[in-house]
């Protein structure tokens, strides 16, 4: 697929495949600009769901076929990931809940798989999507978009963070009760009734900053990384050494971002479970 300029190339690779419902039926991409609130990013949804199903399939299959003798390579790898997450949960989460460890494992592996899509060559999947659109549906390849790193979509990172935020509220109310949670928001850090408005503002900002920081941290790091890969791809024939160097560095960054998201989730839920 030919592009008229570097700007057009970058814009094409950073645009989500959108689908929305209009009066005329289903619409795609730019026709969704005036569709209102409900616009589906079908590339983000499809890739994230497929990766989630891969995670469930592999871990469930290993769990069903696990042996007590010498484990195979896949079982040893799954056990290594499980023990790593379990150790972090035990050392960080100070409450009692059977949900936290499975939740932490799901977050870590799922976010890691979505992050690893950043290592796929930037032109591969958009080109395949363009060919499918051209020969399968008669579309102009320039109007076929496919942004294949789900965590570069702020809608997905905010959805994950909002899920964590709902759990924070749930455990706060469960462990402290409505009265205890209200007191936590109004009587800290200054324990005097005259400071209730100030306390409420400070604690509300702290509470709301948790999902906001979770979402923006993951999105910002992955979006910047993908943008750098795209910029390297615009160099042409001289991109291979730079691409390899950035990919090697990123092998460390991608698991780190998944680990940070998991650990902050555990910390926030541990704070929510503390009964003062």
Q: Higher model confidence: residue 21 or residue 66?
A: 66
Catalytic residue, candidates 21, 88, 217, 270: 217
Smallest CA-to-CA distance from 93 within 211, 260, 268 is with: 268
Which entry of 91, 213, 225, 270 is annotated as an active-site residue? 213
According to the model, what pLDDT value does residue 105 have?
95
Chain centroid, CA 3 distance in Å: 30
Rounded Cα–Cα distance for residues 150 and 132 (Å): 20
Active site residue 199: no
Kindly state whether residue 21 falls inside one of the protein's structural domains: no
Contact present, 132 and 95 (Cβ < 8 Å): no
Confidence of residue 67 (pLDDT cuts 50, 70, 90): confident
pLDDT of residue 40: 87
89 touches 98 (CB < 8 A): no
pLDDT of residue 252: 86
- 2 assigned to some structural domain: no
* Tens-place pLDDT, residues 93-140: 987 888 899 999 999 999 999 999 998 888 888 888 888 888 887 887
Closest CA to 171 of 246, 95, 83: 95
270 tagged catalytic = no
Q: Is residue 1 a part of any domain in this protein? A: no
Main-chain phi, psi angles of 40, to 5 degrees: -95, 125
The one catalytic residue among 60, 221, 225, 270: 221
- Whether 162 has a pLDDT exceeding 80, the answer reads yes
User: How many domains, in total, are found in the chain?
Assistant: 1
Which of these, 81, 97, 107, lies nearest to 161 by C-alpha position? 107
Do the domain assignments include residue 247?
Answer: yes
Q: 249-267, pLDDT tens digit by residue?
A: 888 889 999 999 999 999 9
**pLDDT at residue 275, rounded to an integer:** 66
Question: Is residue 26 domain-resident?
Answer: no
What is the Cα gyration radius of the chain?
22
In a domain, 6, yes or no: no
Domain-located, residue 62: yes
Q: Is the pLDDT assigned to residue 85 strictly greater than 80?
A: yes
Q: What is the mean pLDDT of the chain?
A: 86
- The per-residue pLDDT for 150 is 94
**List of residues 6+ apart from 105 with CB closer than 8 A:** 81, 82, 85, 86
pLDDT reported for residue 102:
93
State the pLDDT at residue 196.
Answer: 83
> Are 133 and 17 spatial neighbours (Cβ–Cβ below 8 Å)?
no
Q: Which domain holds residue 83?
A: 43-273
pTM value? 0.89
Q: What angle do CA 58, 97, 218 make, to 5 degrees?
A: 60
**What does the pLDDT read at residue 33?**
63
Whether 21 is catalytic: no
Does residue 19 belong to any structural domain of this protein? no
């Amino acid at each position: 697929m030919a592009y008229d300029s570097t700007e057009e190339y970058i814009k094409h690779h950073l645009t989500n495949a959108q689908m929305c419902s209009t009066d005329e039926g289903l619409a795609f991409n730019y026709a969704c600009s005036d569709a209102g609130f409900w616009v589906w990013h079908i590339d983000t949804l499809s890739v994230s769901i497929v990766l989630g199903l891969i995670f469930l399939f592999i871990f469930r299959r290993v769990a069903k076929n696990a042996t007590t003798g010498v484990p195979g390579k896949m079982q040893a790898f799954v056990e290594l990931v499980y023990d790593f997450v379990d150790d972090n949960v035990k050392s960080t989460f100070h409450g009692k809940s059977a949900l936290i460890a499975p939740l932490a494992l799901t977050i870590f592996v799922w976010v890691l798989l979505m992050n690893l899509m950043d290592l796929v060559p930037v032109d591969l999947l958009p080109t395949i999507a363009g060919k499918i659109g051209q020969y399968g549906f008669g579309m102009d390849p320039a109007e076929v978009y496919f942004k294949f790193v789900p965590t570069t979509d702020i809608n997905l990172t905010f959805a994950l963070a909002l899920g964590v935020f709902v759990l924070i509220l749930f455990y706060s109310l469960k462990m402290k009760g409505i009265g205890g949670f209200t007191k936590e928001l109004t009587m800290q850090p200054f324990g005097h009734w005259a400071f209730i408005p100030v306390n409420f503002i400070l604690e509300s900002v702290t509470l709301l900053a948790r999902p906001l920081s979770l979402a923006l941290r993951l999105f910002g790091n992955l979006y910047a990384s993908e943008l750098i890969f795209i910029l390297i791809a615009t160099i042409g024939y001289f991109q291979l050494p730079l691409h390899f160097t950035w990919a090697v560095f990123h092998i460390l960054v991608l698991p780190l971002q998944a680990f940070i998201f998991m650990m902050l989730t555990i910390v926030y839920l541990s704070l929510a479970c503390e009964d003062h």
